[in-house]
Structure 1
Amino acid sequence: MVDLKVKVHDLEFKNPIALASGTCGFAREMADFFDPGLLGGYFLKGTTLRNRDGNDYPRMAETPSGMLNAVGLQNKGIDYFIENIYPEIKDYNTQLIINVNGSTVEDYIALAEKVNELDKIKGIELNISCPNVKEGGMAFGVSCPGAEMVTREVRKVYDKTLIVKLSPNVTSIVDIAQAVEGQGADAVSLVNTFLGMAIDAETRQPKLSTITGGLSGPAIKPIALRMVWQVANAVKIPVVGMGGIMNAVDAIEFMLAGASVVQVGTAVFKDPLIAVQIVNDLEDYMQRHQLSSVTEIIGALQV
């Protein structure tokens, strides 16, 4: 037997494999395929203070080695989640982390206060890639002052594990990571999607209604892996890694680079069972390498 348990601040994961926000709904959708308790955790679908209808269709497009999405945070709002979804999922034997999104700092504060009251959700993933409507639409997470401000204000009202999700669409992701660490983040997760676009040459039109969208999948893995390694070597808080993880080898590479937990996302659209297979293959890897605890590979890259 090998020990797959890992910790991210106060959150103990039974194994380091989680599903990424926006790819697993609110975890209950995955229950049609497997026991949700088989995975270490779920980063639940992005949730806002009020109902959002999302962007117009088309809002997804396949690209070489990846996909673009511009769903636009479609959800029914935090109150609907608390009343209708939370009661269904709260007793799953796994970690549930809710991804929160806002257009103003006040939105984030109000969301954090509501989630803070939910006993079975012991962490939030603060998505700072959202546009700050009070600052002309620039995302909170693309500047140190913006990232610091929203992290600082949420920290004041939220007393559980605060994981800040970083955008890769920045000049220096290390600077942003250190900025949120300095304002009380308990961990960082990275990377969010890269800004990209796709064009239909026959119609001469963009393939997304929004023209640009977020690129995910294997195409971004080498860049995401580099960013995880850089951040893990620059901060003292845990790192949650993601970006093109399609199998156990990918997951192990992210852990070697310094990630304590990894999120599987786009791969789920190809195979809903892939994360369970990754857990099994990770265990096989540890047995082959005679490792007793998965923590032995975290940050163990030899350079």
Structure 2
Amino acid sequence: MTGAYPRLRTRTRRRKSGKVVVYYFYDASAEGNGEIPLGTDFDKAIAQWKEIGERGTYSARVTGTIEEAFARWEAEVLPGYTSAETKKGYAKNLRMMRPVFGEATWDQVGLPVIKGYLAKRTAKTQGNREMALLSVIWNWARGEGLTSQPWPAAGMERSKWKNKEKARKIKVRDDVYEAIYAEAGQHIKDCMDLGSATGMRLTDCISVLMPRGNLLTLEASKTGKEAEWDLNLSAVLPDLVRRRKALGADHLMLLSTAEGNPVTPQALRYGWDKARTIAAEKATARGEDELAASIKLLYLRDMRKRAAQKAGSLEEASKLLQHSDERLTERHYGGVRRLKPVG
């Protein structure tokens, strides 16, 4: 692309979905810096194009640094992910890593540096997720010729260099569930019913469509797996659908506010926090401090765990949660194995 925007280059690519995406680059090859990725948003690309042009050359401190890979991966790879939650999470991870690793050259980041980052990170599990993404970008950069350095932690899986993680162990007790349910608005009750009946993640609970006939269908946002639930086999879902139809809302989502609007993550967060706080305060006023403490520890996403608890077996729970391996279900949701006494 020349004329009004000298050195602005474009690359057109077709994604798996069939959507055609245009990527913009600044041609800095005359300075020995190749093409600089500017993203897929034209207005933002032009703003960066102007900034680079005003500097005269592309900053040498970016070329050959990890930031170069961050910028290109963010512009070329991240948009290809279909899950909005995945893209949001990766973008957040990049924001955390950039101040630490962005200006570093590849040979400056070794395993001690990575371990030091994890040691200083207060959110230990999230730090592991950030290093997992750094590994992905690092190996992608090798394939793109941005570095020949191997990933510093390659072959170190058994050295336990990452922060230790422990699955959150909690059982969704009936008394805790019922205490919060009694104080919740109807859209929160509906979400609790839906999650504990189907094992859906919260992102799927608010995006699942009204059923056709007696079948509730879903393509999971995280895994892309498809599932169907027969409403005739549920004790709570038929009533949920009837309440939804009675609202006369004109949107297609199963969950709805009393005003007939789709339920948003913010509405879930506010409604859940409010119901949980009231339930805990009432339990404290009755002198039931242990119940109040348990109420405060429960999250709305734990309805998925409640669904696993209600399943008849580990195999049934694994199928309900759409896990490919029962060991995953047992590790995160299965709790204690029931063993047969031998005497």
Flag whether TM exceeds 0.5 (same fold).
no
Higher percent of residues as helix: 2
TM value normalised by structure 2: 0.23
TM value normalised by structure 1: 0.25
Computing the radius of gyration from Cα coordinates, the structure with the larger value is 2
Higher relative contact order, chain-length normalized (CA < 8 Å, sep 6+): 1
